[in-house]
Structure 1
């Protein structure tokens, strides 16, 4: 795809979904002088093989446009920690800082620790230089000394610096784990530390923004009155080193020691020293990672927290842009549920930021669309190569680079700059891949689905994954039929529990996609809208978690596939992820037995073969597909309606399906199945097992104008809207 022009305005909302009477906070950054802000309702969405996705924006009743003064806000990329400095440290004659450090990316200057006075003025600190040598710098950034040898990438090292002492200058002590301490000294010392009010770990703070951010792991940072040699030795010689240190010097020698193995809150680090100066983590660095003394004896950080006493800072972490409100928008009473956009326009640029208005329980429509927003976040700002095939479109305007910004954080399909996996993703930032004129992977196909649903059934309410996670079945109550988007891949346990309960209680669900209910996610309570994914030992995945790091930091649960966690998608949907391929899509052939079975209503007026058309690969069965596998859900009441044909050999079975490698062959299990699972007398789930199904709903169909994809989907929804039970004997 060729390089696209840049945009000069971008925004995001907090939250993504609101109800009438609630407030939507709108965040905007622009290099223009003014921004015209309006609210638009998504009226329709279409596809052009030449120009790509098209969306029709209508006026939203009850909203008035406004003009905002243009302001540019930077994205504060990079994670770090801040903490108060104890009074005992300020008055101590000897001031020593130490920690265990493992660099994971070299080649640029990185700040390990920096001290500031009460006004925020920089007093100096400890850095790693471009060549890997540790340096101690003063308030002017002048190096007072450099270590004698460079640190090694990927290796834990104990570092301690006596920054000030009664007689003499700076002393730097460095030791490998369980190794000898090497010393370096200089005549000068860091001045002004008697006024130190706070410190930063993992970055230097300049104008409230992080810079010189560390890519690396930190454990057991400490402020003490002992000398650098003794601190480095204590750090390097395992957890028991502290006992020897305090026996030799007394417990008061330690002022602050921050313990990353304790998880009282996700953004707080407990100071286990006497000062109790707890640190605060910014931009959610990764926790629940192995520390310097992990020995492989446990793989769950909750079992031996001392083996997980580390945090991993990244220079490209971004949990929350923290931009001020450009506008606090109150949603008018009576505003209809639906998918909306905040229109931001300048003289030569624009952005449309999606948001959802939900329906209150008393006024909910019979049909609701459940947008898979956790999937949107998981793929948020991911490279286009990780989001489906190339459709031949020159560029997607909404994914253009933005003036004044180098990026807005990464996706779960990326690695950090240092090569470590990206486990966290947040909605508190611009997500350019979650736009109406972006690559058709995520929200774009779901706008096609919403357009078709509204054409067929009138008012269709909209809700999001986050609503389902936080409210459970209350989010679904009042809707007779709930329809998923085309790729509900990322699910929390709370969401699965809610859908199970909804269907068991007589609710009807249409799963109109593929590769659904696949990866386990955790959701942050401290950073709303942030989700965590840890890809463990199986599954089709962009990376795999490091050994010992499969348990989530947010809740301690084991990560990976729901199939590996005992909840295969087949138990809910009747089908589960089977294969993927991004060339031409296939079509369906009806299972003859289905015409006389309990799911026969789905086939009313449907031919024996259908789905030879669609905007995504020219077929209704493609990209990522699911099939019936009865051994994964042996007790489920699943009825096969149709199976796909016509896939090229590039449609390959998923990794977790293969027990060994084989020569290329025509694989009958690399297919999509359409099925219905009945739950009790009245509940049901209809599943199409294909991500390209929704691309066939608005397409014209075959040359005769017949569209059996539309006919079958409408058949099912109409029957699902009928409250009559499916089984009289249950």
Structure 2
């Protein structure tokens, strides 16, 4: 069979498969003992590319290859590659690097967040998978020493509050679940679990003087056959909260490092706030009408700096944060009325963030090896081929023409109405074919 022609369907399919190979490699890591990625998808001669590899095997082989044909259709020539001399070719020490996916907001530790007495946590939530495990909404909880606090969805799908004094932990929830009395843990269940894909106000308060903890699960709109507002108010016997040095997380439970998170929230969260006092039931109810209690410790407005990773605290305490693993911003909030589809024209209605437990922006792995592209390497699609025993993986990348080199005229088309050159279909394919 003759080689693929420039811009042919087979050539485009090959490029698409290379792109899919790169996109799915990390997604399959939990079941893949050998996987990796590069810090760039495209590079020019003289530049350096870094490769990050996770390997269960103590050693793996790396080899630079030019990908000639990536279509494994039996009617075609099959998968074809050409081995190329490279400085990184040969054996490398293998090490397992964990994949910590799941998006969240990170707020660095600050004394103002270490509430040790009365406090309140509130947020609008739009859960998409309640009942699929514990999911944190606002959390500074440390399992290791039973300190801090967390507003969360419990494993039964209801809103709950968890806090600890360093010795005991207390869990109050609005959902109907079986109480668990394990060691010094206390669980008090009341009410019904959440329904998915509905806006609700989730709130929790703790009065350190009386020891009363209250949890609220208030729907934004009451629909037929859906549960009405649920509340639970319990005298816990606790009178203090222990602080810790963990960062605060929104949509996850913090770990010992930025990457080590758990209990990721699935769904949208809007307007999370923290108070250093126990809000009254009337103040909680007032939130449904847009009446915001004064003097919060922190009040994060997700509609601000919406096109960045930055999260702005509007309380005046400057407890700003940043997103991690690229959650979806500029999504409709609880007050969206359907009249505006452009978030820039109604920022106040797009103040939510959609989080997912499988979001992944940067695995954050350590560098395994690097490659400086020689000046005589042909522009094409290449890959670092990894092998360890029967395991194999490819890390594809594009080598572009040297900087300053003029591209052929046929790479671009300029329609009469165009203000700048537009790459042709053949141009996209010409990288390798």
TM over 0.5: yes
1:123–1:190 contact (8 Å) kept in structure 2: no
Cα distance in structure 1, aligned partners of 2:158 and 2:79: 53
Residues 134 and 497 of structure 1, relative CA distance in 2, 3 Å threshold: farther
Residues 483 and 52 of structure 1, relative CA distance in 2, 3 Å threshold: farther
1:307 to 330, 341, 349: 349
Is 1:288 paired with 2:207? no
1:130 to 143, 147, 155: 155
Paired position in structure 1 for 2:187: none
Residues 9 and 194 of structure 1, relative CA distance in 2, 3 Å threshold: closer
Quote how far apart the aligned CAs of 1:211 are: 2.1
Q: How does 1:492-531 map to 2 (within 5 A)?
A: 501-502=420-421, 510-512=424-426
Cα distance in structure 2, aligned partners of 1:88 and 1:213: 24
Paired position in structure 2 for 1:216: 267
Is 1:360 paired with 2:384? no
Paired position in structure 1 for 2:172: 145
Quote how far apart the aligned CAs of 1:313 are: 0.9
Quote how far apart the aligned CAs of 1:231 are: 4.9
Cα distance in structure 1, aligned partners of 2:110 and 2:218: 26
Q: How does 1:558-573 map to 2 (within 5 A)?
A: none
2:115–2:276 contact (8 Å) kept in structure 1: no
Please list the CA deviations of residues 500-541 of structure 1 after superposition, one character each: whole Å capped at 9, or x if unmatched: 6236xxxxx65359xx9xxxxxxxxxxxxxxxxxxxxxxxxx
Quote how far apart the aligned CAs of 1:97 are: 1.3
2:208 to 165, 179, 184: 165
1:164–1:191 contact (8 Å) kept in structure 2: no
Quote how far apart the aligned CAs of 1:265 are: 4.7
Cα distance in structure 2, aligned partners of 1:133 and 1:308: 25
Quote how far apart the aligned CAs of 1:221 are: 0.3
1:40–1:340 contact (8 Å) kept in structure 2: yes
Cα distance in structure 1, aligned partners of 2:217 and 2:72: 61
Quote how far apart the aligned CAs of 1:303 are: 1.6
1:97–1:163 contact (8 Å) kept in structure 2: no
Paired position in structure 2 for 1:108: 132
Aligned length: 373
Q: Which runs of 5+ in 1 are unaligned?
A: 1-5, 247-252, 365-476, 485-494, 504-508, 517-690, 699-730
Paired position in structure 1 for 2:409: 480
Q: How does 1:89-100 map to 2 (within 5 A)?
A: 89-90=113-114, 93-100=117-124
Is 1:16 paired with 2:41? yes
Q: What SS does structure 2 have at the residue aligned with 1:99? A: strand
Quote how far apart the aligned CAs of 1:50 are: 6.9
1:267 to 284, 304, 309: 309
1:483–1:511 contact (8 Å) kept in structure 2: no
Q: What SS does structure 1 have at the residue aligned with 2:270? A: strand
Is 1:82 paired with 2:106? yes
Cα distance in structure 2, aligned partners of 1:232 and 1:52: 67
Please list the CA deviations of residues 57-85 of structure 1 after superposition, one character each: whole Å capped at 9, or x if unmatched: 2323x534242211122322211112135
Q: What RMSD over aligned residues (CA atoms) do the two structures have, in Å? A: 3.6
Paired position in structure 1 for 2:253: 204
Q: What SS does structure 2 have at the residue aligned with 1:232? A: helix
Cα distance in structure 1, aligned partners of 2:67 and 2:416: 31
Quote how far apart the aligned CAs of 1:131 are: 2.1
Quote how far apart the aligned CAs of 1:222 are: 0.4
Q: What SS does structure 1 have at the residue aligned with 2:79? A: strand
Cα distance in structure 1, aligned partners of 2:247 and 2:130: 27
Paired position in structure 2 for 1:555: none
1:19–1:357 contact (8 Å) kept in structure 2: yes
Cα distance in structure 2, aligned partners of 1:48 and 1:174: 54
Residues 22 and 260 of structure 1, relative CA distance in 2, 3 Å threshold: same
Cα distance in structure 1, aligned partners of 2:322 and 2:131: 28
Quote how far apart the aligned CAs of 1:122 are: 5.7
Cα distance in structure 1, aligned partners of 2:90 and 2:146: 39
Is 1:65 paired with 2:89? yes
Cα distance in structure 2, aligned partners of 1:203 and 1:346: 35
Residues 35 and 166 of structure 1, relative CA distance in 2, 3 Å threshold: same
Paired position in structure 2 for 1:176: 219
Cα distance in structure 1, aligned partners of 2:346 and 2:239: 38
Q: What SS does structure 1 have at the residue aligned with 2:349? A: helix
2:306–2:330 contact (8 Å) kept in structure 1: no
Q: What SS does structure 1 have at the residue aligned with 2:420? A: helix
Q: Which runs of 5+ in 2 are unaligned?
A: 1-30, 175-189, 223-228
Please list the CA deviations of residues 237-269 of structure 1 after superposition, one character each: whole Å capped at 9, or x if unmatched: 22xx12xx33xxxxxx31110001112552111
Residues 496 and 203 of structure 1, relative CA distance in 2, 3 Å threshold: farther
Q: What SS does structure 1 have at the residue aligned with 2:254? A: strand
Quote how far apart the aligned CAs of 1:189 are: 4.1
Residues 189 and 215 of structure 1, relative CA distance in 2, 3 Å threshold: farther
1:123–1:191 contact (8 Å) kept in structure 2: no
Please list the CA deviations of residues 366-400 of structure 1 after superposition, one character each: whole Å capped at 9, or x if unmatched: xxxxxxxxxxxxxxxxxxxxxxxxxxxxxxxxxxx
Cα distance in structure 2, aligned partners of 1:97 and 1:46: 53
Is 1:32 paired with 2:57? yes
